[in-house]
Each structure stands twice: as structure tokens, then as C-alpha cells.
Chains A and B, each alone.
Chain A
Amino acid sequence: MGKGIHMSDKISGNDGMKALLAEFQRSAEDAFQTMVFTAITCGVPQPKQPGFPVGAISGTIGITGTKFCGRLSLVFSTPIAEKFFRSMMMMDDTSPVNESEMKDAVGELANMVAGGAKARLQQNGMDFVISLPTVVTGKDHSLESPAGCTTMVVPITLFDGKFDMEFAMS
């Protein structure tokens, strides 16, 4: 087996969270490089603070497994979401963006990040089920941390801006 988290590992505490989060970060890097045709840079994960981060559009995937449960969310501002959507759809910089399609793309990217992490973790004997994506829109909204979960936030640089990846685990 390679490096990373393994089936025999107890998924708890900071180390367990960090190991899981690393797989989701790698999956996010892969998804953006392949589908959005641009590299992202993940910053240092921080514990989520109430009311932060804020965004205008967020995509969430629920995660249910025997070793852990939680959720993954990608939280974007409108300008960054529009920019990645145009890149993903190979549109030019001035093309108008359909909000409904952009919401769909945010959900689909969250789905790819969670699905990619699932595949990576399955290689190490860890299985979980992912939900269909849900997308929330609204100026300056923030997501509640699920009850009983520890939530970490990873700031991610994309183009000339940033978005956030939230990972909650219990």
C-alpha cells in the first residue's frame, strides 16, 4: 500500500482529519487541472470559524462511511465561479454565464472532488458513499458546521482569486 491513510487507521483526531483532508485536496487539484484546465494551490487548513468563509455559491456533497461521516463543500464568490465556469466550458472571457448552468457546474465539481477522494481512499481499503450534490446560492452566505463534526477550511488559490474548500468530519 502507498502512503496515506489506511483501513486499519482509526479516523479520529487531528492526524486522521489531516490525512483525509490531504486526499480531498489532491482530488481537488486533479479535478481543476483536468476539467477547468488550470492549477490550484491549496493553502494551510484552518478550523472553521462561525460565519466564515462566506460565498455566493457553494456546492456540497454528503459523505457516509463506516470510518467517518461528514461533508465536503466548495464555496465560491460569483466572479471566481464565473471565471472557472467559462474556463471549464471553454468559453471566452466575456461570454455571458447562465446562472443555472454555473450552479450545475459547482455541484458537479464538488461531486468530482468527493468521487476522486473516494477512489483514492478505496485503494487503501476505506469505503464510503457520497450523496448527490446540493448547491446553495445567496450573497455572502456561510455554511453551518454539521452537529458533532469538526470542520476544517482550506483556502484555495485559483486564477487571480480564491475559493474555499470545507471538510467536515465526525
Chain B
Amino acid sequence: MVDISAKAILVVDDSSTMRRIVINTLGRCGFKNMAEAGNGVEALAKCKTQQFDVILTDWNMPEMDGLTFAIELRKMPNYVAVPIMMVTTEGGKKDIIDALTKGVTSYIVKPFTPDTLKAKMDELMAKCQ
């Protein structure tokens, strides 16, 4: 059984509302160690100074979008295998396949319910074991 309270999660989204919704939902699921970033550039900077266990990132963001962030993150040796979940409105099959082939582990399409996010996180945490 994974101790999720010890897992370090990075939530990346340019929308403060979405960051709050995601962090509140994860908090109710038992996650305690969460950080946030407003775009891919900020997120990359955080990943260079801190090791996260799971990354949740939006797709459409200013400065650096989520897909570019995922591609850049995979170039860092300590992030080659860290699960990345794309939290996105870009729910078309073409977009999803594109993201999965470029290093994204999983995805959740906005809008989503708290239960859906929890289920997706459970799947992702199982991969962390």
C-alpha cells in the first residue's frame, strides 16, 4: 500500500481556480505534500530544485504549455519515470495520443468530478509502487 501522504505532488495550471480545485480534491484524498506552479517554466524551475513523485499539468498555458513541459521534464534524468497526468480540456483522441507518445503517463479531461480525479490518481499511484 502506498503512503500517499508522503508523496510530493506538483500541480501545474495557469488557472488559480483549477489549482485550488485540484489541490482541495487531492487533500480530501489524503495527499498532504503538494506544490503548485502557474505554467511550464515555473514548474520546470521547481522540478530542478525539488523531487516530485507525481506531476499534474494543464495543457494550455502561457509561457510554456503542458506538453512542452512534459517533453522538457523527460529530458531530466530524475524525471524519466515520474508519472505525469495531463489535466486538460483538449480531450480529442488526436491530442491525447499525441501527449501519450511524448511522455505523458495519463490524462483527465476537464470538466471532471472529484471522484474521477480520485480514481485517476489511484491508477497513477498504483504505477508508483
Contact A108 B112 (CB under 8 A): no
Q: Does A119 contact B (CB under 8 A)?
A: yes
For residues 111 through 144 of chain A, which have their beta carbon under 8 Å from a beta carbon of chain B?
111-112, 114-116, 118-119, 122-123, 127, 130, 132
CB-defined contacts of B95 to chain A, threshold 8 Å: 122
Please, which residue of chain A has its CB at the minimum distance from the CB of B15?
A108
Per-residue 0/1 for A92-118: is the Cβ within 8 Å of any B Cβ (1 yes, 0 no)?
Answer: 000000001100110110011011101
Contact A104 B17 (CB under 8 A): yes
Partner of A118, one of B14, B89, B112: B89
Is chain B's interface secondary structure helix, strand, loop, or mixed overall?
loop
A111 to B111, CA, bound (A): 10
Please, which residue of chain B has its CB at the minimum distance from the CB of A114?
B89
Contact A108 B17 (CB under 8 A): yes
CB-defined contacts of B62 to chain A, threshold 8 Å: 132
- Given contacts A30-B111, A111-B60, whether A101 and B89 have CB atoms under 8 Å apart is no
Contact B60 A122 (CB under 8 A): no
Per-residue 0/1 for A13-51: is the Cβ within 8 Å of any B Cβ (1 yes, 0 no)?
Answer: 000000000000000001100110000000000000000
Q: Does B18 contact A (CB under 8 A)?
A: yes
CB-defined contacts of A132 to chain B, threshold 8 Å: 14, 60-62
A114 to B60, CA, bound (A): 12
Interface size on B, residues (CB 8 A): 24
The smallest C-beta distance from A137 to any residue of chain B, in angstroms, reads: 16
Q: Does A7 contact B (CB under 8 A)?
A: no
Contact A108 B18 (CB under 8 A): yes
The smallest C-beta distance from B98 to any residue of chain A, in angstroms, reads: 12
Contact B111 A122 (CB under 8 A): no
CB-defined contacts of A89 to chain B, threshold 8 Å: 17, 20-21
Q: Does B120 contact A (CB under 8 A)?
A: no
Interface size on A, residues (CB 8 A): 25
Contact B112 A111 (CB under 8 A): no
A131 to B61, CA, bound (A): 10
Contact A119 B20 (CB under 8 A): no
Contact B110 A112 (CB under 8 A): yes
Please, which residue of chain A has its CB at the minimum distance from the CB of B112?
A34
For residues 14 through 29 of chain B, which have their beta carbon under 8 Å from a beta carbon of chain A?
14-18, 20-21, 24
**Can you identify 16 A-B contacts, CB atoms within 8 angstroms?**
A34-B111, A34-B113, A101-B17, A101-B20, A104-B16, A105-B15, A108-B15, A111-B15, A111-B60, A115-B88, A115-B89, A118-B89, A118-B90, A119-B109, A130-B89, A132-B62
11 additional A-B pairs beyond A31-B111, A116-B111, A130-B89, beta carbons within 8 Å, are A35-B111, A88-B21, A89-B20, A104-B17, A105-B17, A108-B17, A111-B110, A115-B110, A118-B92, A119-B90, A132-B61
Which 8 residue pairs of A and B lie closest in terms of their CB atoms, listed nearest first?
A115-B89, A122-B92, A119-B91, A34-B111, A105-B17, A108-B15, A35-B111, A31-B111
